[in-house]
Amino acid sequence: MPSKPTFLQFTATATDNNPFGVTSLRIWFEEVDIFVYTKGAYVGNSTVQQINMSANDIYTVRGPVCVADFFFKNAAAGDNTTIVVAGTALSDRQLKERGLA
């Protein structure tokens, strides 16, 4: 975990029509921006993806949020969307203050 806030970005492209995450790392952010490139996607957790996003949408989630808790799925079968999640990771001090460390 960073000792001071660090900007991070994770990118993933669907390879099939199953839910996927951009990382399995348990990194906490104050807020994240989710960018949907190329094709539409559904956003949610590991079991349910209900938020529908179109290509070129940006969705901001205020936190603290853990990037590993977000899962994505193609809005249309075979579209293989690309997702980018970006934000500033919480520092060690911020994690302790929020009871996350």
- Six-digit token pair at 45? 């957790």
- Give the whole-angstrom CA distance, residue 68 versus residue 47: 13
- Check: pTM over 0.95? Answer yes or no: no
Q: What is the predicted pLDDT for the residue at 12?
A: 96
Quote the CATH superfamily of domain 6-97.
Jelly Rolls (2.60.120.10)
Query: Span 74-92, mean pLDDT?
Result: 93
Q: What is the pLDDT of residue 1?
A: 47
For residue range 26-77, list pLDDT tens digits in order.
999 999 999 999 899 999 998 889 899 999 999 999 989 999 999 999 999 9
Domain boundaries of the chain, sorted by first residue:
6-97
